[in-house]
């Protein structure tokens, strides 16, 4: 059995190596790009992108097709392969679609040289992405579950994020996307439910994006494919088939580093991302319907660099802030948001900033409902913020 596994691993590595050699002629014609900034797009002192494209008017884009998150990601990946001849997609089991079928039929359409399986080796998957992207080509790597990305952390932290800096701003591996499903799904337990986004927001030079649904996934993934900085793209797996939207057929690009105000309000600012926005929408509706509290709901969309300007302007209006995420509260992104807003809005705050997050324990299978920061926990926090300010 051991010899069989060793032979399978050797065969898989040989296949991956042979497929990369097929790109040798194409790669030999490329030169490494030079850059003058650590991030390709200039940033202001607060970290937000200064020259981000305008927000698309998605309501005006017609026609639209109703689809779930899996279909949106699948069709967007197909569009990227169609428009960028250098793009390749690789990861565990993706040739037949992967665990969640996000890459289904892509190999049939674009060939085994551009869409292919890799060994079960996260460090190798991301390492190959770094090398391929360093040539100026687009590498789209898939990690089967975000819970298993940690063997690749060294490649992301010490290679991908440092590539431009360590070369004296001469080169980069920015044409690189690492996709991975994250978060609770109802039955995942310790190793298929984690939300590790905070680890990656601590890495300068890495963009971290999380869509909340099919419409956002398309626009954000297209923007990621044109970014000249490496992108970590988390996908809320609980929404893969449960979230349906009317997605415009034509291409559109949601700007990196720009938050979206989903719902305007005057009493409390509520901030979240990814799947947690569904929870927060319910909490805001309950707050208004049952207590007359008007909440301004903000989807960060990009966690690194995050849009501090939009959140700051909202808090100056409402005087109160709640941040909610699935991951454990200690060291979470919510703490950075709370600190930054406290520094900028101290004199505007009418109550202490609230965080409603996961607990500081391993993700519990038997107690998942108790662990998750649901709409009722968020509603209580909203009510306390308002009561405190009276």
343 in catalytic set = no
Q: What are phi and psi of 349, to 5 degrees?
A: -75, 135
Q: Is 23 a residue of the active site?
A: no
Q: Structure tokens of 125?
A: 């998957």
Asked if omega into 56 is within 30° of 0 (cis), the reply is no
Whether the Cβ atoms of residue 201 and residue 154 lie closer than 8 Å to each other? no
Helix (H) or strand (E) holding 60: none
| Residue of 35, 142, 159, 192 with catalytic role | 192
* Distances 88 to 15, 23, 222, 254 between C-alpha atoms, Å: 15, 10, 15, 22
Q: In the structure encoding, which two tokens stand for residue 332, read together?
A: 């979470």
Query: Could you say which DSSP state residue 276 is in?
Result: H
φ, ψ at 243 (rounded to 5°): -105, 120
Selection from 337, 342, 340, 87 nearest residue 221 by Cα: 87
Q: Is 42 left (phi over 0), alpha (psi -120 to 50) or beta?
A: beta
At a CB cut-off of 8 Å and minimum separation 6, what does 339 contact? Answer: none
Query: What is the rounded end-to-end Cα distance, in angstroms, of the chain?
Result: 69
Residues in the chain, total? 390
Query: Per the residue annotation, which of 35, 122, 326, 336 is the catalytic one?
Result: 122
Distance CA(116)–CA(106), nearest Å, equals: 9
Cβ neighbour number for residue 360 with a 10 Å cutoff: 10
- Which helix (H) or strand (E) segment holds residue 179: the answer is strand 176-182
Distance CA 354, CA 343 (A): 15
| Structure-block tokens of residue 67 | 């689809």
* CB-CB contact of 318 with 283 (8 Å): no
Report, as residue numbers or ranges, the catalytic residues.
122, 192
């Amino acid at each position: 059995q051991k010899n069989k596994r060793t032979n399978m691993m050797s065969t898989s590595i040989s296949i991956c190596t042979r497929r990369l050699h097929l790109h040798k002629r194409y790669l030999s014609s490329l030169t490494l790009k030079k850059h003058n900034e650590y991030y390709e797009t200039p940033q202001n002192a607060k970290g937000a992108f200064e020259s981000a494209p305008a927000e698309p008017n998605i309501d005006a884009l017609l026609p639209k097709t109703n689809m779930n998150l899996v279909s949106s990601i699948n069709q967007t990946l197909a569009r990227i392969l169609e428009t960028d001849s250098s793009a390749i997609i690789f990861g565990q089991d993706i040739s037949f679609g992967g665990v969640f079928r996000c890459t289904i039929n892509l190999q049939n359409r674009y060939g085994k040289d551009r869409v292919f399986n890799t060994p079960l080796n996260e460090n190798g998957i991301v390492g190959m992405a770094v090398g391929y992207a360093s040539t100026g080509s687009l590498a789209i790597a898939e990690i089967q579950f975000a819970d298993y990305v940690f063997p690749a952390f060294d490649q992301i932290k010490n290679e991908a994020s440092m590539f431009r800096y360590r070369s004296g701003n001469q080169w980069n591996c920015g044409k690189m996307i690492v996709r991975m499903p994250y978060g609770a799904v109802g039955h995942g337990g310790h190793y298929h439910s984690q939300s590790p986004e905070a680890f990656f927001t601590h890495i300068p030079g890495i963009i971290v994006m999380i869509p909340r649904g099919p419409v956002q996934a398309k626009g954000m993934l297209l923007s990621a494919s044109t970014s000249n900085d490496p992108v970590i793209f988390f996908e809320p797996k609980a929404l893969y088939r449960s979230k349906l939207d009317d997605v415009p057929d034509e291409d559109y690009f949601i700007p990196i580093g720009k938050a979206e105000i989903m719902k305007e309000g005057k009493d409390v600012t509520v901030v979240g991302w990814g799947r947690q926005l569904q929870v927060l929408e319910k909490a805001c509706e309950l707050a208004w319907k049952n207590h007359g509290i008007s909440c301004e709901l903000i989807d960060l969309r990009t966690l690194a660099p995050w849009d501090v300007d939009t959140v700051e302007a909202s808090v100056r209006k409402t005087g109160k802030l709640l941040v909610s995420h699935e991951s454990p509260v200690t060291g979470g992104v919510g703490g950075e948001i709370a600190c930054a807003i406290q520094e900028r809005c101290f004199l505007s705050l009418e109550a202490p900033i609230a965080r409603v997050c996961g607990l500081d324990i391993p993700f519990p299978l038997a107690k998942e409902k108790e662990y998750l920061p649901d709409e009722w926990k968020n509603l209580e926090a909203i009510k306390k913020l308002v009561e405190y300010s009276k």
